[in-house]
């Protein structure tokens, strides 16, 4: 074979090879494509500082929000919060509008009939808010007085026990801040809600001159994260993450950030 013919053949082969390689390179790289992160939809009633509320920018923030974000990191999922009225929050989970709920929600038997709860992540108790100088000194004094509560909460449960569920003296509000503002306005004589929430409201509204009363009859309540009944896969992931975040000090860190030491 003449030298020039050999060289041309080699040249053509080279060119072909190059085009093939370049062609390959421009093809979408299939192997390096990651599977998209799972998205977990989380319902919360974002009017319950310090656990969940909307900041000036309209972002949902708080103790519960940081906690779920950390859980998301642990289980490699993106979390998406859905602001949901508290009295419809269990239904939104049962109806699969969300996958999970966190809302400073007390674990109790009634709720356990509809949803499954994680291990407890916080312990709280009820407290009473009244105006300075109020004759109310203890929970029993609320009998036959006008009391405000947030609809569907355990605060409502304890007040219904004392006054009777049908009592016209119970005023039910959509949110706890609305109930507390009604106390400031004089529409109700007291409000019963979770102590850390009442405490922070008093601190943020010093001119309202409200006082907080504890009562020994209030039982300790444990907050849990809820998932749909039978969703043991997600529940196990959440519990595993909670264990880890408790051990590595993250839960304590979040608690101190929002509730102080």
**Contact between 48 and 83 (Cβ < 8 Å):** no
Smallest distance, Å, CB 33 to ligand ARG?
39
Question: CA nearest 68: which of 197, 226, 200?
Answer: 226
Task: Return residues touching ligand ARG (CB under 6 A).
Answer: 45, 48, 52, 86, 103-106, 150, 153-154, 176, 194, 221
Smallest distance, Å, CB 261 to ligand ARG?
22
For ligand ARG, the closer CB: 144 or 214: 214
For ligand ARG, the closer CB: 174 or 244: 174
For ligand ARG, the closer CB: 198 or 251: 198
Smallest distance, Å, CB 60 to ligand ARG?
11
**Cα-based distances in Å from 82 to 94, 122, 132, 197:** 15, 21, 37, 21
Smallest distance, Å, CB 223 to ligand ARG?
6
Q: How many Å apart are CA 90 and CA 106, to the nearest integer? A: 12
Smallest distance, Å, CB 244 to ligand ARG?
25
41 backbone dihedrals φ, ψ, rounded to 5°:
-90, 130
Q: How many Å apart are CA 88 and CA 60, to the nearest integer? A: 18
For ligand ARG, the closer CB: 103 or 237: 103
For ligand ARG, the closer CB: 85 or 244: 85
**Contact between 124 and 104 (Cβ < 8 Å):** yes
């Amino acid at each position: 074979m003449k030298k020039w013919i050999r060289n041309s053949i080699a040249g053509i082969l080279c060119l072909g090879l190059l085009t093939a390689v370049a062609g390959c390179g421009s093809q979408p790289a299939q192997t390096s494509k990651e599977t998209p992160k799972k998205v977990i939809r989380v319902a919360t009633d974002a009017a319950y500082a310090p656990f969940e509320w909307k900041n000036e920018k309209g972002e949902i923030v708080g103790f519960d929000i940081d906690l779920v974000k950390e859980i998301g990191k642990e289980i490699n999922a993106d979390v998406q919060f859905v602001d949901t009225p508290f009295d419809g929050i269990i239904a939104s989970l049962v109806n699969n509008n969300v996958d999970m709920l966190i809302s400073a929600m007390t674990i109790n038997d009634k709720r356990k009939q509809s949803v499954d709860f994680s291990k407890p992540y916080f312990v709280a108790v009820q407290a009473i808010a009244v105006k300075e100088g109020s004759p109310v000194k203890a929970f029993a004094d609320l009998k036959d007085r006008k009391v405000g509560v947030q609809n569907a909460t355990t605060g409502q449960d304890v007040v219904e026990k004392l006054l009777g569920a049908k009592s016209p003296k119970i005023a039910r509000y959509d949110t706890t801040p609305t109930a507390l503002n009604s106390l400031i306005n004089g529409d109700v004589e007291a409000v019963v809600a979770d102590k850390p929430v009442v405490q922070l409201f008093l601190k943020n509204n010093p001119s309202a001159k409200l006082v907080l009363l504890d009562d020994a009859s209030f039982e300790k309540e444990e907050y849990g994260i809820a998932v749909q009944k039978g969703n043991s896969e997600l529940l196990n992931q959440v519990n595993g993450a909670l264990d880890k975040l408790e051990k590595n000090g993250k839960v304590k860190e979040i608690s101190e950030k929002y509730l102080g030491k």
